[in-house]
A and B are shown apart, each in its own frame.
Chain A
Amino acid sequence: MPYIEPHGHMVSRTTDDYERMALAGCQVICEPAFWAGFDRASAHGFYDYFRQITEYEPKRAARFGIQHFCWLCINPKEAEDTKLADEVIALIPQFLHLPNVLGIGEIGLNKNSRNELRIFEQHVQLAQDHNQLVLIHTPHLEDKLKGTKLIVQALKNFPKITPDRVIIDHVEEHTIDHVLDQGFWAGITLYPESKCTPHRAIDMLEHRRAERIWMNSACDWGVSDPLAVPKTMQAMRQRGWSPEMIQQVAWENPRTFMAQGGKFSL
């Protein structure tokens, strides 16, 4: 069954991963800009990174018959260096016209600091100024609940950013209702240790009737599984889901959200 991987950091993955994903039915991968696992020394590093995910990575994906899109930002883990963050944000507009750039992301919070919040708001302003979709990262583990609430509160200061054009990712059982009840889209990330297992994800999908939710592997350089989405689709079959409802979650939902930007044509 075909599926969309709406959140994968493929610069950290091998060609073997691309091949396995293609064999499992993946037809589209969307790559949010993220932390490299270490802090970059200058904005020049980001310029090269943005070229990598807008120019080079789509070609690598195409070798396996996979369409590749991306999102641009500086990750909140590097937001404490506000001078660097300001320089990187200034680089982004020159890339926004490219046909494979879907919007601003994954922005958000990490440790819920004032500097992170300021840089998050600058990104949202950028999205508002350029009429971009927004993909938001919520903090890890014990910081997720507080960060999610701060993010939702901050978004209320941007009236032109409508909730239906924002996806708040990495929700879990204690944050999903807060996100969806405010009208935002929600992303469920499937990780072997942190975040969600397939069965927990399916529990949440059933709880919310699969509306305005996508699921992703967020595969990167850490402990993660690029096949997490098709494995969860298999678990959905085991739990009695119809092929049509599986397709709704694995294809139609991400397609519907991202098509709002006008570039996500399959």
Chain B
Amino acid sequence: MNSPSWTPPNTVNLVDLGFMDSRSKLIDLAAFLDRVQKAGQEGDFRVQALKNAIKLLSQDQPTRAKEVLLSFSDPSSEPIEKATMQGAIGAFKG
């Protein structure tokens, strides 16, 4: 069994490192929501899934990425009878 001795990384300013990238992605997301709304397409279940996921960003615990991924996931537990497509969409339709 592999058991590396863990050495924590040196402290760096993660805000310096990631703020501009995160700012850019957030504005892109906002613009996407504006775009689909203007086009009358905000009823698409994928857009609704995004909006539901956005609400999870305001939680206090540092598990936001996990919660967002869970919100997009198929919550069922039994195998389906037969695969009728090979790809995935990105959000569970229900």
Give chain A's interface residues, CB within 8 Å of chain B.
77, 80, 110-117, 139-146, 149-150, 164, 172-174, 194, 199-200, 203, 206, 209-212, 236, 238-242, 244-245, 248, 252-253, 256-257
Contact = CB atoms under 8 A, between A and B. Distances in A.
Interface of B: 1-4, 6-12, 14, 17-18, 63, 65-66, 69-70, 72-77, 79-92
B90 A113 contact: no
30 contacts: A110-B86, A111-B86, A111-B88, A112-B74, A113-B80, A114-B80, A116-B83, A140-B88, A141-B88, A141-B91, A142-B91, A145-B73, A145-B75, A146-B76, A149-B77, A172-B69, A174-B66, A174-B69, A194-B90, A199-B18, A200-B65, A203-B65, A209-B4, A211-B3, A211-B4, A238-B17, A239-B17, A242-B7, A252-B2, A252-B4
A116 B39 CA distance: 39
The 8 closest A-B pairs by CB, nearest first: A240-B10, A240-B9, A111-B83, A140-B88, A141-B88, A209-B6, A174-B69, A145-B73
Main secondary structure of the interface of B (DSSP, over half): loop
Main secondary structure of the interface of A (DSSP, over half): helix
Given A146-B76, A238-B12, A80 B91 contact: no
